[in-house]
Structure formats: C-alpha cells, structure tokens
C-alpha cells in the first residue's frame, strides 16, 4: 500500500477563513494534511518574515477529525518556515496556499501573502501551488472550483514541477457550469493606479487610506487576465529567480570606473 502524500496547507486570510477550510477539505481527499496558518489576516504582506519579534505557534482544533492544525502569530512565509523546520515530522510532498478570498493575478502576485507562502515552499524545494478565487466576499462560495483544485493538485503530485517554479492559480467568480476550463498562461502586464485618501480622525490626527484601481495594460490573449475575463481558470508558472537574464548582455557593455 502506497504512503499518502504529506500536504502542508497554509494561507494569508487566517486559519479560520472559509477559503482555507475549503482547501483543507479538498486536500484531505488526496493526502495527509497538516495546517500551519496565520492566526489573523495577513493579506498584502508579500514575502515578509518576522525577525524583530517572537513567533508563537498554538495547536488548535477547528474542524473535527483534523488533528494537526497550528495557528501561527507570524506571516504566511513564517508559517511555511516553521511548518517545514519545526512542526512536520517529515518533508512535505506538497504545499498549497489559499484558497485566497480575491484575485492574485498579474502584478498582485508580488504583494500576495498567499503566493509568498507558496514561493517560500518553492525556495525549500517543495512543489507548491497558490489558489485564489476572484471573490473578496468572506462568504464566497468555493464549491464551483473544488474539482479543478483537486485536478491541478493531483497533476502536480503526479508530474512534479520544474525546480524554481511554483503555480499561481486564479479562479473566476463563476458557477461550475460557467467555468470553461483551465488555461496555462503568462502573467499579464498590469499595475495599480494608486492614490492615498487623506483623512482626519476624531482626535484631529491626519491619516491616509490607500485606494486605487487596477489597470490591465496587456491585450494579449495568452495572459491570466484574459483567461479570467473569458471564463477560464488561469494557471501561471511563477519563478522566484528575479534575475532579468535578458539584460545581462547589455549591462556587460557598460564601462565602469575601476
């Protein structure tokens, strides 16, 4: 009898978020699950890690029958580090992060706590996937995407991923009948046009609230934004080697003082 894969589950919305509870439910049909997730929301934390304060981990029971759940005071990346280095009794076969409440497509990947957890696992050489549903509602319905998440997960377990690569999976907020399928995509070129709304609190102190709008600058039909807008689940292979290899030759023509 073959041993079940060990799956580390984490997120950035917090251990009690409906998204991670849905992801745990899916993963328990595939392998042995250990959950290490933040004790509070950590959205937009990027790849932050805790270095100037202590970290606390508490064993918790949220879903009956799942005995290995740990709530962590740190960031999503901290959760993966602690899970791999301290909590798990063997190296996980897979790390999955999510299901995030909201999109992590395009430029959002660099701000995403969900994807930072997956990338941290990738740095450790562990196959990893970040899952996001394009619905920011706390009571979002995850039923329509469960079959797809299971299929993507099983494919990664069966085939593996290239070294230095993790998957960024975004799911449109559609019913199962409306989802057209899965597209392997590239990351769209897009950005946020940001503004800061200046306000004053009741004590007279000024503060700022970040606002803005997402602008897609990419009209290609092979991007994650195109796929999502046209009813497909987008799967983008993400590399965490940030070297702009195409610029090396040009930079080597520069003359530097010696």
According to DSSP, the β-strands at 32-38 and 69-72 are parallel
Rounded CA separation 152/196 (Å): 39
Q: How many CB atoms lie within 10 A of CB 24?
A: 22
Query: Hey, what are 93's tokens?
Result: 């076969």
Average pLDDT of the chain to the nearest whole number: 93
Is the pLDDT reported for residue 1 higher than 70?
no
Spatial contact of 162 and 127, defined as CB atoms under 8 Å apart: no
pLDDT of 2: 53
Spatial contact of 75 and 48, defined as CB atoms under 8 Å apart: yes
pLDDT of 69: 95
Give CA torsion, residues 194, 190, 179, 158, to 10 deg: -120
Query: Hey, what are 77's tokens?
Result: 């990346």
pLDDT band at 114 (very low <50, low <70, confident <90, very high): very high
Segment 62-113, tens digit of pLDDT: 877 777 999 999 999 999 999 999 999 899 999 999 999 999 999 999 999 9
Spatial contact of 7 and 31, defined as CB atoms under 8 Å apart: yes
Cα 18 to the chain's mean position, in Å? 15
CATH number of 6-188+219-251: 3.40.1210.10
Is the pLDDT reported for residue 157 higher than 70?
yes
According to DSSP, the β-strands at 190-200 and 94-101 are unpaired
User: Where do the structural domains in the chain lie, given as residue ranges?
Assistant: 6-188+219-251
Q: What is the mean pLDDT of residues 50-61?
A: 91
235: left (phi over 0), alpha (psi -120 to 50) or beta: beta
According to DSSP, the β-strands at 128-133 and 94-101 are parallel
Spatial contact of 5 and 31, defined as CB atoms under 8 Å apart: yes
Spatial contact of 68 and 33, defined as CB atoms under 8 Å apart: yes
Spatial contact of 105 and 188, defined as CB atoms under 8 Å apart: yes
Query: Hey, what are 66's tokens?
Result: 């799942």
Rounded CA separation 244/33 (Å): 37
Q: Which residue has the tokens 């046009």?
A: 193
């Amino acid at each position: 009898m073959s041993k079940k894969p060990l799956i580390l589950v984490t997120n950035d919305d917090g251990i009690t978020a409906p998204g991670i509870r849905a992801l745990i439910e899916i993963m328990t049909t595939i392998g042995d699950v250990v959950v290490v997730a933040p004790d509070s929301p950590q959205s937009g934390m990027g790849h932050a890690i805790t270095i100037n304060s202590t970290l606390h981990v508490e064993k918790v029971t949220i879903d009956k029958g799942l005995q290995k759940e740990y709530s962590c005071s740190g960031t999503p990346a901290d959760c993966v580090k602690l899970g791999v280095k301290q909590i798990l009794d063997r190296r996980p076969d897979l790390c999955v992060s999510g299901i995030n409440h909201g999109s992590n497509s395009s430029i959002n990947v660099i701000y995403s706590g969900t994807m930072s957890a997956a990338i941290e696992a990738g740095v450790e050489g562990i196959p990893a996937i970040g899952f996001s549903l394009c619905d920011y509602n706390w009571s979002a319905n995850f039923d329509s995407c469960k079959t797809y998440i299971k299929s993507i997960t099983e494919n990664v377990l069966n085939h593996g991923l290239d070294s230095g690569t993790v998957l960024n999976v975004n799911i449109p907020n559609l019913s199962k009948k409306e989802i057209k399928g899965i597209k392997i995509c590239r990351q769209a070129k897009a950005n946020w046009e940001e503004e800061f709304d200046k306000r004053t609190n009741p004590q007279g102190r000024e503060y700022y609230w970040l606002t803005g709008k997402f602008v897609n600058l990419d009209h290609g039909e092979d991007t994650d934004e195109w796929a999502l807008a046209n009813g497909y689940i987008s799967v983008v292979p993400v590399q965490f080697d940030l070297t702009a290899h195409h610029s090396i030759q040009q930079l080597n023509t520069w003359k530097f003082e010696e």
